[in-house]
Structure 1
Amino acid sequence: MTRRLAILQGHPDPSAERFGRALAAAYARGAARGGHETRTVDVATLDFSPLRTRREFEEGTPPDDIRRAQETLAWADHWAIFYPLWFGDAPALFKAFVEQAFRPGFALRYRPSGLPEGLLKGKSARLVVTMGMPAFVYQWFFLAHGLRNLKRNVLSYSGVSPVRATLIGSAKALDEATAQRWLAALEELGRQAN
């Protein structure tokens, strides 16, 4: 079954030599092999400022680049989200993008009870996170707090489900054979649209 895939590149550095960018490219190659349609949102290339007030979040008009990113996310059935772990969480530019894009009216609406209703039901996501530390240390010692926040407080509230994660630890220390295995694994996930 052909699916529509949004590849969301959250690395703030546009340099092609970043491993997370190679992983996203492998995912896109696999998606093409699987006959899926893809569109990419590259946060490093977007023109937007961080939100500063609750009023701006709830009532402001998204910048043009954010609006176009929302159109891509709305178009897709499945999202593949790539970002590096910085200080135990996503980079600040990626978090600023999330705050801009996942506004009321696009990602959720508030019910009279105050609890949000997700507007993105029917979509699924794969989070691919690279990090300097071993992945098991992030999961068991730090309890994957940044990843859990994105999954629960952003994606789940927005109705995105299921959300799966691929954690790639010790990314800077990977030997060539291990890096190639990760690239092949991401290409296969892209082929499966998973």
Structure 2
Amino acid sequence: MKHLIVYAHPNSESLNHAILDTTVNTLKKQGHEVTVRDLYELDFQPVLKPADTAAMRNGHTPQDIQTEQDHIAQADVITFIYPIWWTGLPAIFKGYIDRVFSYGFAYSVGEEGIIKLLAGKKGVIINTHGTPNEVYDHIGMTNGLKLTSDTGIFDFVGIESLGHLFFGSIGYLDDASYKGILKQVEDKLDSLFS
């Protein structure tokens, strides 16, 4: 299978980067083809500008958007890896969704309503956050995040969610716990794709 990983974290020493490495290594070990789009490394420009939408309406998708859309079009599975900041996606990742998951590429509208143009693809999301999981579960934030990303992004464009991993209390755990997180990521990917 062809896997696309869209990744966003500014620190190459972060847990998110270790999760990225674990994801890539696990998938490659299983024989999958893996492409990583590191939004910070790419210096991805996240602001959707009027010139972008005007160009796309005229059939001239800007090259940086087209490049990302080509990666998505070729992928069987799309995995998002990013931290939860202020109960949502980092700005660079939100901008990626705004610009790349555009009308006419990811979705359209017809007589029956929304047309999901990325149907047939699978998706996985892996998130970290500083708040304990139990707190997010109790206040409804975990369900809220699933609703806005699994449903609001993936399902809206036809990507079937295969799972959403949340790792809380980041920054407050011991080394064994961080190693346990990486093992959970590996086990989840093995269960889904081996």
| TM-score category, normalised to shorter length | 0.7 to 0.9
Unaligned runs of 5+ in 2: none
Q: Which whole-Å CA distance do the structure 1 matches of 2:188 and 2:162 have between them?
A: 14
Unaligned runs of 5+ in 1: none
Instruction: Say which SS state the counterpart of residue 22 (structure 2) adopts.
Output: helix
Q: Which whole-Å CA distance do the structure 2 matches of 1:84 and 1:184 have between them?
A: 18
Identify which of 4, 7, 10 aligns with 2:8.
10
Q: Which whole-Å CA distance do the structure 2 matches of 1:134 and 1:87 have between them?
A: 14
More deviation, 93-102/46-55: 46-55
Deviations 1:134-174 (A, max 9, x none): 12322330433234212212211100113410000011112
Identify which of 39, 47, 51 aligns with 1:50.
47
Corresponding position of 2:156? 157
Q: Is 1:71 aligned with 2:70?
A: yes
Does the 8 Å CA contact 1:30/1:189 hold for their aligned counterparts? Answer: no
Q: Mapping of 1:43-192 within 5 angstroms?
A: 43-44=39-40, 45-52=42-49, 56=53, 59=57, 61-112=60-111, 115-144=113-142, 145-192=144-191
Corresponding position of 2:26? 30
Instruction: Say which SS state the counterpart of residue 157 (structure 2) adopts.
Output: coil
**Cα RMSD after superposing both structures:** 2.2
| Distance change (3 Å), C-alpha of 1:165 and 1:54 | farther
Q: TM-score, normalised by structure 1?
A: 0.87
| Distance change (3 Å), C-alpha of 1:192 and 1:66 | farther
Count of residue pairs the alignment pairs up:
189
Q: Which structure has the higher relative contact order (CA within 8 Å, separation 6+)?
A: 1
Structure 1 position 193, deviation (Å): 4.9
Does the 8 Å CA contact 2:45/2:92 hold for their aligned counterparts? Answer: no
Instruction: Say which SS state the counterpart of residue 172 (structure 1) adopts.
Output: coil
Does the 8 Å CA contact 2:46/2:92 hold for their aligned counterparts? Answer: no
Does the 8 Å CA contact 2:16/2:128 hold for their aligned counterparts? Answer: yes
Does the 8 Å CA contact 1:90/1:146 hold for their aligned counterparts? Answer: no
Q: Which whole-Å CA distance do the structure 2 matches of 1:172 and 1:35 have between them?
A: 33
Structure 1 position 179, deviation (Å): 0.7
